[in-house]
């Protein structure tokens, strides 16, 4: 049920007071264009009476067995021609009701038109494109990473759109004063693809991150992001690109080939813009951990150096002391060995001297004995071998006597 609101004409008409035609038509127009159901509608019918004006506008009529309505698509000539729309086609028109006050003529002011069968054809083309890029490795190619903190973020989306407002609000909440550039484009309709492509080419000259997105809508509204030309521009872009189109349930070709896929425009901001306070807290924690680690390493190394210094300073003295003790022990042992050696040698010499003294002929002579020596100077110990007349020398204690052998 359609309920009309804010009819300022009610009090006058209920009182039976007449109003001027222009005023009545104006009130009627205001009531119609302010009614959400009538201002944002999709209608379907057979295309008849198409007129391509020199101004570029397209005037046409949609009809079905139960009624008809005149329509206009401003600047629609290119859209009709590019889509090959002809009279007799079944057509979907998106837009809202409007009334031309001077003539009282009601018409449907379309924002976009689409042949009914084209959605199926476009879906077929979409699947073929996905298969092509899956087979040649485009979908599985390496992706570029977003910078930790973008220095030159560019946002490509509809000017004044709810999606842009949501992104701007989130940026302000997460990082107050964060700088970025908005590149406004049409995000639906026949001119949208070329504008999106040009915006990407413009942004990549200075951006370090690009968000391409829009809010939710019908499949037809989002179809620009399924087109090969738009997706190829995303692939060719040397700067990381975030695809943030529609709602979480929407999954477009741009989502499949972009460097980063965000489920919604708001999610794109959440993924690429950190919360400044959280980042500061993380940095401070890391700084504290680094300070603690450096201090711990310094203390540990300082302790090692101190220990080494003590060990090095003590090592020579300990070595000298040990050497002195060892030398003293060796000296004592050596002196003891020498004394023992000399004692042994002394005793041995004494024994030898005693033996020598006991066997010394002089000692024997002193006891009253004598010793005969032959001409060869050898002691005579036996009469054997002596001959009469052999000279002999008799040695006594106090002298010698010369004699010879007698018979």
Q: Computed over its alpha carbons, how large is the radius of gyration of the chain?
A: 62
- Contacting residues for 112 by C-beta, under 8 A, at least 6 apart: 73, 79, 93, 94, 95, 188, 189, 190, 220, 221
For residue 210, the model assigns a pLDDT of 98
CA-based nearest residue to 85, from 127, 123, 46: 46
- Contacting residues for 207 by C-beta, under 8 A, at least 6 apart: 152, 153, 154, 181, 239
This prediction has a pTM of 0.50
For residue 10, the model assigns a pLDDT of 47
CA distances from 312 to 239, 304, 326, 384 (A): 61, 12, 21, 89
Q: How many other C-beta atoms lie within 10 A of the C-beta of residue 126?
A: 17
For residue 324, the model assigns a pLDDT of 65
Residue 48 region by backbone torsions, left for phi larger than 0, else alpha for psi between -120 and 50, else beta: beta
For residue 7, the model assigns a pLDDT of 45
For residue 35, the model assigns a pLDDT of 79
Burial class, 167, CB count within 10 angstroms (exposed 0-12 / middle 13-18 / buried 19+) = buried
Tell me which of 3.30.530.20, 3.30.70.1290, 3.40.50.280, 2.70.98.10 is the CATH number of domain 122-271.
Answer: 3.40.50.280
91-134 confidence digits (pLDDT tens)? 888 888 888 888 888 899 998 888 876 556 677 788 899 999 99
Tell me which of 3.40.50.300, 3.90.660.20, 2.40.50.140, 2.102.10.10 is the CATH number of domain 10-116.
Answer: 2.40.50.140
For residue 209, the model assigns a pLDDT of 98
For residue 2, the model assigns a pLDDT of 41
140-163 confidence digits (pLDDT tens)? 999 999 999 999 999 999 999 999
- The domain ranges of the chain are 10-116, 122-271, 362-404
Low-confidence stretches of the chain (pLDDT beneath 50): 1-12, 14
For residue 96, the model assigns a pLDDT of 86
State the pairing for strand pair 391-396/371-373.
antiparallel
């Amino acid at each position: 049920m359609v309920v009309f609101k804010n009819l300022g004409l009610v009090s006058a008409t209920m009182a039976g007071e007449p109003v001027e035609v222009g005023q009545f038509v104006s009130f009627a127009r205001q009531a119609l264009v302010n009614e959400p159901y009538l201002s944002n509608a999709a209608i379907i019918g057979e295309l008849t009476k198409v007129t391509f004006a020199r101004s570029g506008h397209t005037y046409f009529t949609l009809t079905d067995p139960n009624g008809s309505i005149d329509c206009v698509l401003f600047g629609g000539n290119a859209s009709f021609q590019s889509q090959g729309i002809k009279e007799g086609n079944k057509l979907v028109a998106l837009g809202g009701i409007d009334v031309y006050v001077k003539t009282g003529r009601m018409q449907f002011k379309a924002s976009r038109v689409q042949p009914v069968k084209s959605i199926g054809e476009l879906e077929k083309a979409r699947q073929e494109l996905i298969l092509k890029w899956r087979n040649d490795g485009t979908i599985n190619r390496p992706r570029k990473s977003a910078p930790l903190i973008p220095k030159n973020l560019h946002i490509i989306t509809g000017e004044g759109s709810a999606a842009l407002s949501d992104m701007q609000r989130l940026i302000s909440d997460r990082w107050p004063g964060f700088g970025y550039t908005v590149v406004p484009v049409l995000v639906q309709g026949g001119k949208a693809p070329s504008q999106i492509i040009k915006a990407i080419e413009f942004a990549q000259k200075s951006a370090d991150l690009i968000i391409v997105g829009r809010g939710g809508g019908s499949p037809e509204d989002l179809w620009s992001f399924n087109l090969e030309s738009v997706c190829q521009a995303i692939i060719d872009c040397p700067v990381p690109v975030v695809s943030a189109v529609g709602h979480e349930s929407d999954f477009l070709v741009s989502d499949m080939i972009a460097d980063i896929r965000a489920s919604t425009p708001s999610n794109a901001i959440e993924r690429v813009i950190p919360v400044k306070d959280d980042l500061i807290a993380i940095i401070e924690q890391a700084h504290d951990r680094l300070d603690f680690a450096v201090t711990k390493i310094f203390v540990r190394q300082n302790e090692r150096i101190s220990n080494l210094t003590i060990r090095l300073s003590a090592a020579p003295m300990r070595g000298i002391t040990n050497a002195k003790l060892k030398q003293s022990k060796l000296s004592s042992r050596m002196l003891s060995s020498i004394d023992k050696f000399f004692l042994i040698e002394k005793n041995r010499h004494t024994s030898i001297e005693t033996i020598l003294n006991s066997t010394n002929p002089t000692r024997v002579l002193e006891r009253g004995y004598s010793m005969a020596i032959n001409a060869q100077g050898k002691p005579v110990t036996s009469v054997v071998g002596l001959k009469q007349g052999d000279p002999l020398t008799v040695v006594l204690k106090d002298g010698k006597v010369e004699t010879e052998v007698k018979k």
